[in-house]
Structure 1
């Protein structure tokens, strides 16, 4: 079941329930909670928390302070093994880090909670929390075999399987939240974003992964900054090499320079090209703008107590007929047309809004090739199995025609 369709069903059910029925449902859920879950549930009920299992902001701030002060740390451990677990000769050391204060289960609750907050649209909260957490470095309880200045980072924790999410997934949530709440015209933000991309935690991510959210102006500022930083890095590298300074410093500069070149190339070769293609598609997409209008009309109809010849229905008819008359669907992006077809079928041709006929007429025009019609048949099945079967037969997919033909012809209408 699609998320939006599920939310629509929940809204519809809540409208049917009385206040006392809602109260009873909440109390039943509360009675089933374990003792460890009760406080989070109550804080969610009072508005102090949005995600019940997630630590509060005060708890997160206290945790970060303790990590920075060294009160929360990890322990370095190394053991020599002559043989491995299968009895084969090994003659090597195994190294790992212990988590005596359960810091990483706490962090896992933060990262999972932030991911859920992204779904709920709480971008500002996520940006603030991940800004605090993602740069944390843990002191290591040293031993003779451990370097005194070594710090334990999140990417290192991932390698030792201490995190329940990949660092790249955490990075995606972090950058997505920042892009949503920050001012793209802020020069400092461009610098901050580059710094995040340069972190080990985000080494697998590039600006092109967020091209739909990054403005052209922000990309240009990032490009200018990277060009300047690369020039400085080259000068610093030449100076270090000439003076034969520490090889570690030389390696650090080379590593930083390589990542900055990678980011610059990604912006120049991928982001800007994608922006041009995207802008061109948006400029010529009559279908995209028209469907947005239709969805806006459906949003209005959703709040009507009953459906009976509202002007919005007539407007949906007019827009659909104008689209069909305009044609040129082959010039529209297939992914956009496919998305519209899924929406039409998932909502039962919007029959509950009195728009079955215009949606049916439009859906029959959106496909322009045999392959597209077969994909449309996949969308129709099993909700409109007989129609899918006819389409499979017409476009040469007989094996699917047999399967869909055996399915019940009774339509399972999805509810908005």
Structure 2
């Protein structure tokens, strides 16, 4: 499906790295024209940070950059060149949204703060998404995915009993909460402008956004006054609730029993009559009190079985279970993702055919077709001539002056 639902919306997109580009990618995937303003002299860090196709470095070969910038147009401009501002302003005049995820003050130093932009485009929607928001005692602190995971409490409640905090294994805030909250805010602002004719500034704190994903821990503290302890994969409310090693070099399956009926079904599946007959284990409270014994029995059963077989056997009995999937498993073995056409193959001029994640839903039973990510500066000349109306001579002069890269 060619998704042109947002056709006619244009972004002047100054975002870079993870969360910001993912926010604007959502719009480009659904038909908006996202002009990625970037430079060769100071490239987007994920362009030069990899991972690179076949391990070969290249500013157009980063898989991370490609996955976060599908469908965009790249306009390479040297923002440090004092004469670049006129061209940037011309792009903004033709845009609906200006987006950035720099720290407070960065856009202002370039003459691109909200007041500057509003002066030339009164109905502009301006998205800023710094770590802590744009004002306050900590607003100027630097933020990346790891530090945001730390200061929001994500790391605090992730880890094993009696051990220190752990990260989630990826820059979780960059890939989930922050881009989707930002996209929703922009959609709300676009709807508001359609109704009122007025633009607005969106000041999205990535810390506040990520805290929204920590709801249960905060709710427990609010209700009980007690801070949740780190329990690894265990649950304070249910047992068994853990991952169990299966046959194979590094294969695991998660099992989460959340009701007494599921407990009885689990005992039946693993064929443990002793556990099933013990009245002390008939309730969650009793199972939590004897969790070590239960996990030992379940682990002995899973250890001789294939992880996928464990998942399917338990699911057939009505017990929630899931393979602990690796990247390889998800891309090559997960039959459900294959059935739904989740992985899309896009042919790229430098990295060749590569698989990309789709938007996680079907529309009228169809996938949204992704467009390939841009080469750096690929659309510079066409944007200036076709959208801004510059003459070829003027474009050549801007290249000669070092404004365009």
Fold shared by both chains (TM-score > 0.5):
no
The structure with more radius of gyration: 1
More helix by share: 1
Greater fraction strand: 2
TM-score (norm 1): 0.25
Structure with larger RCO (C-alpha < 8 A, sep 6+): 2
TM-score, length basis structure 2: 0.26
